């Protein structure tokens, strides 16, 4: 079985894809990995196939997504207001509460078979955070974590200043992952005014541009891609 383990990852950049289309694609890729794993269970080792890994980079039209453990009360707009503002809303199967995705935000979906890496969801979440922490360090920002909360924060040790720059929420089954992170690069932060982001009432949100001024979306995406490769030991194909 050792020979089947692979850190090869198929990378896809999908700017402008609507959330529902990306969710459908994630579901399809997730299902293909699970199907390979189930098939392998009934085959001798010499006939088994390695599972694929994928990393999708997306930039969505405005959308709010609510995790399976979230509270719809954290969405502060009714259906009429959502329609008026042309914002989609989906109740989805990731962990966590409500968040926003939209233009200027890099939304990343690692669809990994963690048995190719390590079977530890906590370590997986911390490594996703680490890739973003290393990214913003390239722009002179010190990112960190807050105990008990996922995501990447600035001034996380100061309750009065703490603000989130990257939200994280995942779903995993049979050690296969989907969903991922939302990294605010040039995001219009006013959209967060209509939700209680991640269900956390006493902390704010920010973006890379808010912190340091104008940045290149394409440049930052390449940095994130390289930091994911560094942290997870990926080989892009």
**What is the maximum span of the chain, computed from C-alpha positions, in angstroms?**
58
- pLDDT at residue 4 is higher than 80: no
pLDDT in tens, 139-196: 999 999 999 999 999 999 998 999 999 999 999 999 999 999 999 999 999 999 999 9
How far apart are the C-alpha atoms of 96 and 94, rounded to whole Å? 7
User: What does the H/E/C string look like for the chain?
Assistant: CHHHCCCEEEEEEEECCCHHHHHHHHHHHHHHHHHHHHHHHCCCHHHCCCCCCEEEEEECCCEEEECCCCCHHHECCCHHHHHHHCCEEEECCCCCCEEEECCCEEEEEEECEHHHCCCCHHHHHHHHHHHHHHHHHCCCCCEECCCCCCCEEECCCCCCCCEEEEEEEEEEECCEEEEEEEEECCCCHHHHHHECHHHCCCCEECCHHHHHCCCCHHHHHHHHHHHHHHHHCCEEC
**Which domains are present in the chain?**
2-236 (3.30.930.10)
Q: List pLDDT tens digits, range 45-55.
A: 999 999 999 99
State how far the Cα of 6 lies from the Cα of 52, in Å rounded to an integer: 8
Whether 198 sits among the annotated catalytic residues: the reply is yes
pLDDT level of residue 2 (50, 70, 90 thresholds): very low
> Among 162, 198, 223, 234, which one carries the catalytic annotation?
198
- Residue showing tokens 């340091």: 212
Average per-residue pLDDT in the chain? 95
Contact, 178 vs 169, CB < 8 A?
Answer: no
**Residue 122 neighbours by CB under 8 Å, 6+ apart:** none
| Mean pLDDT score, 212-216 | 98
Q: Quote the radius of gyration of the chain (alpha carbons, Å).
A: 18
pLDDT per position as a tens digit, 18-69: 999 999 999 999 999 999 999 999 999 999 999 999 999 999 999 999 999 8
Q: List, for residues 81-104, the tens digit of each pLDDT value.
A: 999 999 999 999 998 899 999 999
What is the pLDDT at residue 128? 98
CA-to-CA dists, residue 48 to 15, 36, 39, 148, 161, angstroms = 35, 9, 8, 39, 52
Q: How far apart are the C-alpha atoms of 1 and 149, rounded to whole Å?
A: 35
pLDDT at 158: 93
Helix axes 121-137, 217-232, angle to 10 degrees: 140
């Amino acid at each position: 079985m050792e020979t089947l383990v692979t850190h090869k990852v198929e990378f896809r950049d999908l700017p402008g894809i609507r959330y529902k289309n990306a969710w459908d694609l994630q579901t399809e890729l997730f299902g293909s990995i699970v199907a390979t794993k189930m098939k392998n269970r009934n085959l001798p080792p010499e006939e088994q196939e390695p599972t694929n890994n994928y990393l999708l980079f997306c930039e969505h039209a405005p959308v709010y997504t609510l995790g399976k453990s979230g509270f719809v009360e954290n969405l502060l707009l009714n259906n009429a207001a959502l329609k008026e503002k042309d914002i989609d809303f989906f109740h989805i199967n990731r962990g966590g509460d409500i968040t926003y995705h939209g233009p200027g935000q890099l939304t990343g979906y690692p669809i990994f078979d963690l048995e190719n890496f390590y079977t530890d969801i906590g370590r997986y979440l911390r490594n996703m955070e680490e890739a973003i922490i290393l990214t913003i360090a390239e722009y002179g920002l010190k990112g960190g974590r807050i105990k008990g909360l996922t995501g990447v924060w600035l001034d996380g040790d100061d309750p009065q200043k703490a603000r989130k720059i990257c939200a994280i929420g995942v779903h995993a089954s049979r050690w296969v992952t989907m969903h991922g992170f939302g990294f605010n690069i040039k995001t219009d932060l006013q959209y967060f005014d209509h939700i209680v982001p991640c269900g956390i009432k006493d902390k704010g949100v920010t973006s890379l541009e808010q912190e340091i001024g104008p940045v290149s979306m394409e440049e930052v995406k390449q940095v994130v891609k390289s930091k994911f490769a560094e942290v997870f030991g990926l080989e892009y194909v």
